[in-house]
Amino acid sequence: MSQGLLLHTCCAPCATYVVKRLGEEGWQPSLFWYNPNIHPYAEHQQRLECLRRFAQGTGVPLVLASAYDMVAYFRLVVSHEDKAERCLRCYRLRLSQTAQMAQRQGFAAFSTTLLISPYQKHELLKEVSYEVAREHGLTFFYQDMRPGYRESRRMARELGLYRQRYCGCLYSEWERHIQERSRGTTAVSPKPEVQR
């Protein structure tokens, strides 16, 4: 018998494989969209629209947060720009909101599509998720989904889903540009130049 689970969803491409795998594990997931870390707003909306199309196409229920909570995100991460610290705060914010929504909607368990990404801080994510689950009296379903990452990319391509090039936050986009510049693949400057 399938059990309901609220799945924090960072984007549609990551959801492809995770939803399939959760079904194989006996879960009936509902997608939850709460990602105030994604900037700019147009990027946030593009990813959300892509997720809506995926949810409609697969028949997986989609639960949306009530607002784009950008201010709450920046209040947590400003002055904590070190990658480990800001990721910790970002994970906690998004997963706490997921747990609260799970309680309101009557789910006993939650998980996150972030578990599929080889670019996330996996052990930190796992630790925060279990802490949040204990705080809210819920079950956190853990499985290392990273072995399915390539499959998720293939599935996303086949479905024609928008595939982003950075995690979503302003900091990760800036870091991507710096890395591309150091490899000589872009002319973007890591710091704005003052016009004189």
> Residue 167: its pLDDT value, please?
73
pLDDT digits (tens, 9 = 90+) for 98-148: 999 999 999 999 999 999 999 999 999 999 999 999 999 999 999 999 999
> Residue 15: its pLDDT value, please?
98
- Are 95 and 120 in contact by the 8 Å Cβ rule? The answer is no
Q: Is 13 helix (H, G, I), strand (E, B) or coil?
A: helix
Cis ω for the linkage preceding 147 (within 30 of 0): no
Q: Is 140 helix (H, G, I), strand (E, B) or coil?
A: strand
Q: Is 159 helix (H, G, I), strand (E, B) or coil?
A: helix
- Are 101 and 93 in contact by the 8 Å Cβ rule? The answer is no
Amino acid at site 135? E
Domain locations along the chain:
3-163
pLDDT digits (tens, 9 = 90+) for 40-98: 999 999 999 999 999 999 999 999 998 999 999 999 988 766 767 889 999 999 999 99
Q: Is 165 helix (H, G, I), strand (E, B) or coil?
A: coil
In Å, the largest CA–CA distance within the chain is 68
In 46-179, the DSSP E strands lie at 62-64, 109-112, 139-140
* pTM above threshold 0.85: yes
The rounded distance, in Å, linking the Cα atoms of 42 and 107 is 31
**pLDDT band at 183; cut points 50, 70, 90:** confident
End-to-end CA distance of the chain: 68
State CA 169 to chain mean position distance.
Answer: 10
Asked if residue 4 has pLDDT above 70, the reply is yes
The rounded distance, in Å, linking the Cα atoms of 33 and 129 is 16
The superfamily (CATH) of domain 3-163 is HUPs (3.40.50.620)
